[in-house]
Amino acid sequence: MSDSRRRLRVRYSREGRLAYLGQLELIRTIERCVRRSRLPFSVSKGFSPHMRIAYSQALPVGTTSAAEYFDLVLEGPVELPEALASLVSSMPGDIAPDAVGYVALKEPSLASWLTRARWQVDISSEGSIAGLLAALERVAAAPTLSYERAGRPRTISLSTTLASSEVLRTSELEARLELVTRSGDFAGLRPQALVAAAAREAATEVFLRTRRCAQWHDEAGAPLDPLDPSLLLAPAVTGL
């Protein structure tokens, strides 16, 4: 194995219309961006060679994010400011890398390591927001959440997945919620599913704008950021 390889960790935001990409579409898009960036990305050997790249957990379709991540293996080191600049210039505007750092090649994969996420949900409701919030409180207090997705019944354990839920502000027809969720080797909670269940209970139609604000690893109650200096081989470089 060549020792010159590096694992570049990239944080990026995802905005606007690109919230509507599914995970496979996002992956295809980022890989094409990496190819366009001309960074010396590493390709696996074998019958169907593919780019060595790994992503944080899929973002539900329709959700924006301030903090998504991918890890890209490079064949050799590239100066961090240069790596960030070439990624920025090859991405469509609504996918915006804003921080990069090198982590050890053997770090665990992002998708399993990131176990907490904070979400912000802006709700506008056709009916009374107070009724909706009351329903939400009941739904969130239950141990499980059951709903149908693509015609199949699903049950999510809320006591496992929902760490906290708080109403930040409300007006007559609108409200902003903040949720913190846990993830791991169990079915994850989509904020949309929680609010949709409340809307069903309150018999109202809602339009949501959901944003993932942060993701981190939880080390026995202590949060650890994916670009925490303790994980990095050199200080991270941030844009903006």
Partner 1 sequence: MRPERRSRYEELERLLGRVERPSRYVDHEWGAAHDEASDFRVCLMYPDTYEVGQSNLGLAILYSVLNEQDGMACERSYLPWVDLADLMREKGLPLLSLESSFPVASFDVLGFSIAHELVGTNILEALDLAGIALRGDERDEDDPIVIGGGPSVYNPEPLAPVFDAILLGDGEEAIVEMARAVRDGRRAGLPRREIVSGLASVDGVYVPSSYRIAVDAGTTRWGRAVPVEGAGAPAVVRKRVLAALSATPAVPRQVVPYSEVVFDRLAIEVLRGCARGCRFCQAGMTYRPVRERPEGQVVSAALEALGQTGYDEVSLTSLSTTDHSACAHMLTSLNRSLEGTGTSVSIPSQRLDSFGVEMAAACHSGGKRSGLTFAPEAGTQRLRDVINKNVTEDDLMGAAARAFGNGWRRMKLYFMIGLPTETDEDVLAIPQLAERVVGLGRELVPKPQRSAVSVSVSVAVFVPKSWTPFQWEGQLPLGEVRRRQGLLLRACRDRSIRVSYHDPEASQVEAVLSRIGREGFGLVEAAWRGGCRFDAWTERFSYPAWRDAARSVGIDLDEVASAPYDRASDLPWDHVSPGISKGFLEREAIRAQRGATTPDCTRTSCTGCGVCQELDVANDLAGERR
- Contact footprint for partner 1 (CB under 8 A): 16-18, 20-22, 24-26, 28-29, 31-36, 38, 43, 47-51, 61-62, 90, 92-94, 207-208
Judged by CB, which is closer to partner 1: 143, or 151?
151
> Whole-angstrom Cα distance, residue 39 to residue 61?
29
Judged by CB, which is closer to partner 1: 150, or 222?
150
> Whole-angstrom Cα distance, residue 152 to residue 154?
6
- Which ranges of 114-167 would DSSP assign to H, the alpha helix? 129-141, 158-161
> Whole-angstrom Cα distance, residue 119 to residue 62?
13
**In the complex, least distance from residue 206 CB atom to partner 1, rounded to whole angstroms:** 10
CA atoms within 13 A on the CB side of 54: 16
Judged by CB, which is closer to partner 1: 26, or 158?
26
> Whole-angstrom Cα distance, residue 10 to residue 226?
9
Judged by CB, which is closer to partner 1: 49, or 143?
49
Judged by CB, which is closer to partner 1: 34, or 140?
34
Position 31, amino acid: E
Contact between 3 and 87 under an 8 Å Cβ cutoff? The reply is no
**In the complex, least distance from residue 93 CB atom to partner 1, rounded to whole angstroms:** 7
Dihedral (CA of 96, 102, 107, 113) sign:
negative
**In the complex, least distance from residue 34 CB atom to partner 1, rounded to whole angstroms:** 7
**In the complex, least distance from residue 90 CB atom to partner 1, rounded to whole angstroms:** 7
**In the complex, least distance from residue 49 CB atom to partner 1, rounded to whole angstroms:** 4
